[in-house]
Structure 1
Amino acid sequence: MPRRKNAIAASDVRTAKALYAQIQANQASLDPQYRLANEPSDWRIGHLRNAAINHPKQHLQPKFDPERSPSIQPAIRLYMHFLDCALPIFHTLLREPALLLRKTPSKPRVWLYPEPLLDLTAEQKSRTWTQLGEIGKKVYWVVGVADEYGLKPSDEGNTLALSDRPLHDAGLVGLGSRITTNLTMMQAVENAANSEGQKLHMFNLAVLWLHEISHAVANAVLPATRQEKMFLGPWSSTSEDGFEVEDRLFGGRFVECHKPILNTPMVLQEWPDVETLRTYQQSGEPILTRGSAEKLTREWTVQWRVEPSYWERMFEEDFWKKDLMVGRSDALWPDKNVGVLRHFDGGEQFEEEEETVERELEIEGYERRCNGLFVRKGWEIETETMHDSDSDGTDETDSDGMGDVEMGDFGNVRTGESEDADMTDAE
């Protein structure tokens, strides 16, 4: 058994060394003086379709049938703004990850990426856009329906690595991808009753594309096997890089609101949540998790009301020119002023935890109102616009500590011992 374990470790180390060598070669091949001299203005980057420029960012744009494009152009522009904000995250995915040594070949290789920087220098931005552009050239955008392109009925979209689109010529060890958008997401924009509804559905499209391009970048930077997982930064608790990117950019993930009392079509839900982890497990695509067992298994979450003005202002260019605080990691986080508890599995367990949850939120500056809402202290809400709720404010149907990862040296490869990491498949 020790000999077999050593063979696995040696194989993984060879893979890691090859990856590091490729990353270092990529960095050496980029001439920052040339890149910076040809860097277009921010305005031209934001209006790529209307400007005949050769900037790598244009290769990351979704490309669909021209007959469908006019109705979703604002969604594409918003997605491109999201890419700007997420650039430090993608910069991290182009850096050298540490390797978590595994015990058996049946387990996936796990790569631990460093914490993303808050902001990048001009040279770092240029290098990152250049490599992202190479990845974008091998991304194939399609629109599909359920049971087409691997879409399940509940999927808004998906991303699949393509074995016939290797990225060796671009200096990457992974593969290109096919990103599929569910036709229903497009139709929602076209069928919206008013401009407010259109903006909501276009916002959802932009977030979806950000999620899927995150998977495409992961497919490109990691070795071309199905045995690769990653953790995005030392504090990430799951290997689902799409949701991890959303969580970093927005402070959670956006879901449809089923709480009439919140009187909004969309809420921000904390990530991770046990319901999503359980759904992926049941679908045969388990998400690797690490960290606080209590946080990863609790049968409740907090859903925060998202005001329509939050996403509507993002379709105004002045927001991106004046209002956005560049360099703030939480610049796109909605305000968490009004929220409600949602429990996934009711019963005694939740009733026992409810008082504890209430105390925790009180410490964070919230008070519970008689209608079950948690409201930031001093925040006034127009109660007449809120609908009645169950007495506990929940549906009837419906320690942030991280596991220690030992980082050591294995030759010149950054590694961690798997037996020292509190890491499991989500169940």
Structure 2
Amino acid sequence: MSSATKVPPSPTKRVLVAGGVGNFVEWYDFTIYGFSVGIVASVYFPKGNPTAALLAAFAVYGVAFAARPLGALFFGSIGDRLGRRNALAAAILLMAISTAMVGILPTYNSIGVVAPVLLVIARLAQGFSAGGEFSGVATFVFEHASPRRRGTWVAGVSVFALVGMGSAAVTVLAFSLAYPTEYKAWAWRIPFILGALVALVGLYLRLRLDETPVFRALEASNQINKTPLRDAFRMHGRELCLLFCAFSYQAVAGHSIIGYLPTYLHEQVGMKTTTALMIAGFTMLVGAAIGLSMGRISDTVGRRPVVIAALASAAVLTIPAFLIIHAGAGLAGGVVAEILLVAPFATILGAMMPTMMELMSPAVRYSAAAVGYNLPYMIFGGSAPFVAALLVSWTGSGLSPAIYITVVAVVALVAITAWLPETHRVGETNPDTGSAVSPLHGDAVP
């Protein structure tokens, strides 16, 4: 086994806390826009046509996803060439600045068309930052973890994204209740500013971390890849296609839940916004528990059966969940329906993130994972709320978004069932060659 692939020591609490807190902050900051989209539409766009303003606000939600692959390319290259820690510190600093920008921008009434232009710039910066965050944290923790605990540890920091999303919903809910008359005027800005401040705490924690043992070993053995992006596509084309399939479902489902469903519950079902946010916050926290459990289970039974079960569940449960929502079942029905939607999404998160790490060679891991994760989010995640709202507008059916999610889940299920190898023991020594062997190509991992 080469020095670059020796099993690193188990991660310390400091690594897990810094990775988890950073992930929490990044996804709190990124998704709080989705929970505030109704107010954003009224503040930053002309008020003459509320439907057009709402669609425009959803479109700006999607703009951030266009920047995510660019951020993936940029931060992935930094992470593979200059170190995982440096890339993660830069990503969270950019998120802090761009989130603060959303919170302090002047309104459309104050500066006219410049307001939505600046909003787009802020969202692009948020998306650029997010492109290097999630897969970067997974890489960082994975490279500290022992082989038999990788699913647990990677899932553990990954589900902090769901905690961040849930906390964003709870924060918006809390301030809307605390300032019922002032919220639409100015108090809606406070959650954005708080997110920026907490991001600086995440930056401090990350700067105190050491580089990963795997990256230090690559440096010591002169195996740092100078062209990680090019080699990621050359070495891992098939793996990237598999990631695209799995994360396409996750992108559509996740951002339909985050960016569209609260607005749908209010606009189409007539549920109070506070109730919709309460449901979103609670179910995201439930999803975090599910994702962590599935990561732990995947360490025992393998990643492949967990991922397949998640996609099969999504294909079966999505339409019934929307039927419950559309029936106006109230708070209890809304909770049940969103848990049915969140559970497959969270399971993919818990099992597919360590799978992604195990599929990639160490020298290009950050770049390959960042591209494989963020490209489907650009295509499907950013457009999910807009497409969902558009489908309902065109068809007049509240079930049309559910059909869309189901179709994507079925396509992903077919691809994953046919081609995803089992990876949870990848990295252990091959007794014949003494090397860690790629599950798809049989080539020794650098």
Is TM (by shorter chain) over 0.5?
no
Larger radius of gyration: 1
The one of the two structures with greater contact order (alpha-carbon pairs below 8 A, sep at least 6) is: 2
Q: TM-score, normalised by structure 2?
A: 0.30
Q: TM-score, normalised by structure 1?
A: 0.31
Structure holding more helix per residue:
2
Structure holding more strand per residue:
1
